[in-house]
Amino acid sequence: METVLEVKNLTKKFGGFTAVDDISFNIKEGEIVGLLGPNGAGKTTTIYMLLDILTPTNGGISYFGKDLVKNRSEIMHKINFSSTYVELPWRLTVNQNLEVLARLYGIKDIKGRVAKILDIFDIVDLKNKKTGTLSAGQKTKVFLAKAFLNFPKILLLDEPTASLDPEIAAKVRSILLEERKKFKTAMLFTSHNMTEVEEVCDRVIFINHGKIIAEDTPLGLASKTKLTSVRLTIVDGMKRTVAVCQKNKWQSKAEDRILNISLAEKSIASLFQLLAKEEVEYSEVTIQKPNLEDFFLSEVGKYAK
């Protein structure tokens, strides 16, 4: 598969503050890559540099094997973006906004393309409404529609579903996956919704304080979190269970009759053997394997300490 985006040693400094610190990665055709990290990690700064509206302090960006700075206009025809941090002119209707942008991207059949994209995102009824009168969710859909206007080979999506309700967000995710399937569109995707990232992304790059901390599949990253969570509803023997946990140095947290225990997956069998030995009576057991959110929290927690 062709590499559509290659980032080499990208760095951005604002005075003495390093927002993005020597990051390198690439994205292949049709690949959806999640760019994760806490607020202020450098995700949006990275996206702005990839859009050439922020000059990097160091490093290089190339799309389709061509340097972004030297081939800006040619590259911009093939990429697009959507961000919760940007607006469209509020006095213009949705149709007018999309028409202007379609012209900027050099689309030939403007009317046809705008009509098609409005239909894909199910916003035909909004086309004559002024953009400023739309709800946050409607605006987000219009923005995503705008992002697909020029049949981009790569899309940069900065929290694209941030203000959508779960049902519409799910629809948007399915559209993203469908478009990827049809046109092999690559995507760089930032989101705070870990379930969404797990569902959509083939690979995740985790950044914190501007540095890449980890890079793997969502499942691969989740498995880096060693601890599994066991949730027990204790009928009799809460004190004995807590004592067992303390003795084995397993973290536990009690809430009424419910006890959450964090331990390595391989220790689960020992836990139940010990509970049987102590004659602890429990009514419900839930074992939750680590997910991307656990990884996110553990990594962010590490840095906070």
Partner 1 sequence: MLNRLYAIILRQLYVFVASLGRSSDTLFWPVVNLFLWGYLSIYFSQKGGINLLASLLTGYLLWMFLQRSQEDLSVGLLEDLWSRNFINIFATPITIWEYLLGLITTGCLKLLGSFFLVVILTYLLFAFNIFSLGIYLVPFIFNLLLTGWWTGIMINGLIIRFGFEVEALSWTMIFLLMPFSGVFYPVDVLPTWMQTISYILPSSYVFSGMRKLIQDGIFDWNLFVVSLILNIFFMLLSLLFYKKMFDIAKEKGYLVKNY
Interacting residues toward partner 1 by CB under 8 A: 14, 44-45, 48, 51-55, 72-74, 76-77, 80-81, 83, 86-91, 101, 104-106, 146
In angstroms, what is the minimal distance from the CB of 64 to partner 1?
A: 14
Q: Are 80 and 151 in contact (CB under 8 A)?
A: no
In angstroms, what is the minimal distance from the CB of 131 to partner 1?
A: 9
Torsion of CA 150, 156, 159, 164, to 10 degrees: 20
In angstroms, what is the minimal distance from the CB of 141 to partner 1?
A: 16
In angstroms, what is the minimal distance from the CB of 276 to partner 1?
A: 60
Q: Which is nearer to partner 1, 51 or 170 (CB)?
A: 51
Q: Which is nearer to partner 1, 44 or 225 (CB)?
A: 44
Q: Which is nearer to partner 1, 25 or 105 (CB)?
A: 105
The burial class, CB within 10 Å (0-12 / 13-18 / 19+), for 65 is exposed
In angstroms, what is the minimal distance from the CB of 186 to partner 1?
A: 16
C-alpha pair distances (Å), 157 with each of 43, 46, 236, 272: 11, 12, 51, 45
Count of CB atoms situated within 10 Å of the CB of 298: 14
Q: Which is nearer to partner 1, 51 or 238 (CB)?
A: 51
Q: Which residues pair with 258 in a beta bridge?
A: 233, 255
Q: Are 168 and 90 in contact (CB under 8 A)?
A: no
Q: Are 151 and 125 in contact (CB under 8 A)?
A: no
Q: Which is nearer to partner 1, 87 or 165 (CB)?
A: 87
Q: Which is nearer to partner 1, 131 or 228 (CB)?
A: 131
Q: For residue 194, what are the contacts with CB-CB under 8 A and spacing of at least 6?
A: 36, 291, 292, 293, 296
| Helices 268-277, 238-248: inter-axial angle, 10-degree rounding | 140
In angstroms, what is the minimal distance from the CB of 106 to partner 1?
A: 7
Q: What's the length of the chain?
A: 305
The burial class, CB within 10 Å (0-12 / 13-18 / 19+), for 182 is exposed
Q: Are 235 and 257 in contact (CB under 8 A)?
A: yes
Q: Which is nearer to partner 1, 74 or 278 (CB)?
A: 74
In angstroms, what is the minimal distance from the CB of 77 to partner 1?
A: 5
Q: Which is nearer to partner 1, 155 or 261 (CB)?
A: 155
In angstroms, what is the minimal distance from the CB of 74 to partner 1?
A: 8
